[in-house]
Chain A
């Protein structure tokens, strides 16, 4: 067998050599170049072997965060974040419902865009990953020990939370900028009075370095432009944050035309350290607000939602020298900073060129007050004074740029559907490869940090068309993996993704795999309805509420026979999984439940509500094949008429 594999590989490699088309043949219109190389070998992770990187890909309009292995492109898990997930009960169980609470009430869906892994000294540290909810502005923190959404904070005064969630280089702040400017505070007013009256908020959320807990430190209230994407300064530019803007025209209708009038929009450069100092000295204005802060407690296995009632706002006019505008051609989309922190790339999506600003020149222009007017009192720097260089005509529709550790940049081009590699500093185009089709973000592991791991580039594509077997009008989304270790980028693999993948973040597997939790310790379970022993297993009535303290282990529920429940009762199944071994979750489902099932991890307690509507004897069962006796893992609840006088009783293994 092994011999035949060797022969196979030799054949493949030989074939690759013979038919070598230098991997850069743009005529191969469907990009099948991978077939003529040993690409298969380089993405093949043999059964039982593990991938080299974790890739966290935004779930787009699924609202979730998906976890892939690279280079195999195998999906490992979908982590529920902003959307309910009936697969494990997230957003359905009593413990997790508070995670999706907002000032608008329970919001069970969002549009998740930009995951970013926590950093220390500008390098990935693998503690947490953050992601934004775009539609109902929220930021989530997912712990990379539990691979679980541990916290969600709503962003007030924001709408279309798109230039988010990007983090400063010691994870001091997670930053969330608004794409849609709105009246701040919200009020009833004519839409056509937008100009000058709508505002854009840029929110700096502090992160506790021990617990990861988030809290809004301040909101900078900016002119009513669209704040599209953002990136923190790195290394020498640490302390600054850069936001691309479009619609500096302040159009409120037909933006397709009306927001594309100005020759240049801006990158807003924010000296957040200066504002932080201002705020720490009592600056800013506390204003009324209403936003949810939801936190999952690892020991009670339960989330709480707290409504916060005020937020500190800062008017940029009050902090001189903290905010400048860098003119940047044609509605820049991605805003990217190279690993040295010197270069700020404006990916002007309607421009044919890429504009690169110099941080050093920017500081010099500020110091020498080389301004070219102002916008709403904010100084505009002179374009020529701060320009580091231009990548000339690299393609059409530049969106995003990532970096490797060798001074190369990789920019995605949506319209011309390609990835272009260019040299930072000389601005020379080194390579271009077609992408199938219409790439949005690109991602290199650590490629937005001070320390990229430049082995792979992942293109996150907007259009799939004919790349997979058709599945009716609605297709999967798609990613493509390139090897970028050589002079030329080499397409290795296509793989499907969930939702629309926007940004992604990846990290070497060994940095987090070793920390991945296996079980929750029963001894640390502080859930108020946990039951650990036969003596704890019980059923308690409180009016119409019936609380079942149940536990489970391979392969039975305790209790598994319950009588005395009545039509009209609200039954809470509080179930504790007593297993203390890795990969032995149990599931729970009960007939006619109007919510979902729930999956209970070893050592955890979860609660599902069931409201029986009919008299009868109704079964429940374990949904996750747990042992050879899994099919025996079941029980019954007897539901009697509302006026029945049958007392509550419960049992396991008794006649």
Chain B
């Protein structure tokens, strides 16, 4: 039974991986999806409660400097972007389809948050924390809404106000 479950899990994870097509190989003009790989073992600690303020995740964002004070103008833009693109699955202060953004920066680096927004397919595949979050949230995939880096940065600023 347990074995079947593991197989099922691996299968479903592979399914999610096949869903998106954010990443293109450079030599491929038509944007085929990258090949899938078997997922790593599942951790027992709920990923949403883990705190990791060093992991920057996988993706285009390597370093983000947060200002001493919150840039309210940027945060307002972030709120607008968030409301338009994210509320189908996220509520500000409680778990919905996905986790709540409130307090996220107490548990994650801003780089990790932005990479999760910008590069969810690779994150949920290869970043152990993101991968465990996917399983914790019933395999409901983090949709790639094709935000720009600027929009993702604005949302981080918005999350600081929550």
CB of A534 within 8 Å of the partner chain: yes
Query: Given the complex of chains A and B, what is the CA–CA distance between A292 and B16 in angstroms?
Result: 45
Q: Chain A 583-594, CB within 8 Å of chain B: the 1/0 string? A: 110000000000
CB of B97 within 8 Å of the partner chain: yes
Q: How far is the CB of A522 from chain B (nearest CB, A)?
A: 7
CB nearest neighbor in A for B30: A513
Contact between A514 and B88 (Cβ–Cβ < 8 Å)? no
Q: How far is the CB of A550 from chain B (nearest CB, A)?
A: 11
Of B15, B30, B83, B143, which one neighbours A50 at CB under 8 angstroms? B30
CB of A44 within 8 Å of the partner chain: no
CB of A48 within 8 Å of the partner chain: yes
CB nearest neighbor in B for A630: B15
Q: Chain B 131-162, CB within 8 Å of chain A: the 1/0 string? A: 00000001111011110000000000000000
Binds A, one of B18-26, B42-50, B54-62, B103-111: B18-26
Contact between B143 and A582 (Cβ–Cβ < 8 Å)? no
Which A residues touch B85, using CB under 8 A? 522, 578, 580
Q: How far is the CB of B150 from chain A (nearest CB, A)?
A: 14
Query: Given the complex of chains A and B, what is the CA–CA distance between A588 and B128 in angstroms?
Result: 35
Contact between B30 and A580 (Cβ–Cβ < 8 Å)? no
Contact between A580 and B143 (Cβ–Cβ < 8 Å)? yes
A581 and B88 contact, Cβ closer than 8 Å, known pairs A514-B29, A554-B140: no
Query: Given the complex of chains A and B, what is the CA–CA distance between A579 and B22 in angstroms?
Result: 13
The number of residue pairs between A and B whose CB atoms lie closer than 8 Å in the complex comes to 79
Contact between A553 and B89 (Cβ–Cβ < 8 Å)? yes
Beta-carbon contacts under 8 Å, A510-534 to B:
510, 513-514, 516, 518-519, 522-523, 532-534
Of A516, A551, A629, which one neighbours B140 at CB under 8 angstroms? A629
Query: Given the complex of chains A and B, what is the CA–CA distance between A50 and B83 in angstroms?
Result: 39
CB of A555 within 8 Å of the partner chain: yes
Contact between B20 and A558 (Cβ–Cβ < 8 Å)? no
Which B residues touch A514, using CB under 8 A? 29-30
Which B residues touch A532, using CB under 8 A? 84
Contact between B16 and A583 (Cβ–Cβ < 8 Å)? no
Of B97, B141, B146, which one neighbours A556 at CB under 8 angstroms? B97
CB of B6 within 8 Å of the partner chain: no
A-B contact pairs, 27 of them (CB 8 A): A50-B30, A519-B146, A522-B84, A523-B84, A532-B84, A533-B83, A533-B84, A552-B88, A554-B140, A554-B143, A555-B140, A578-B143, A579-B145, A580-B85, A580-B144, A581-B21, A581-B143, A581-B145, A582-B22, A583-B19, A583-B20, A627-B19, A627-B140, A627-B141, A628-B15, A628-B16, A629-B140
B interface residues, Cβ below 8 angstroms from A = 12, 15-16, 19-22, 29-32, 83-85, 87-89, 96-97, 138-141, 143-146
A interface residues, Cβ below 8 angstroms from B = 48, 50, 510, 513-514, 516, 518-519, 522-523, 532-534, 551-556, 558, 578-584, 626-629, 653
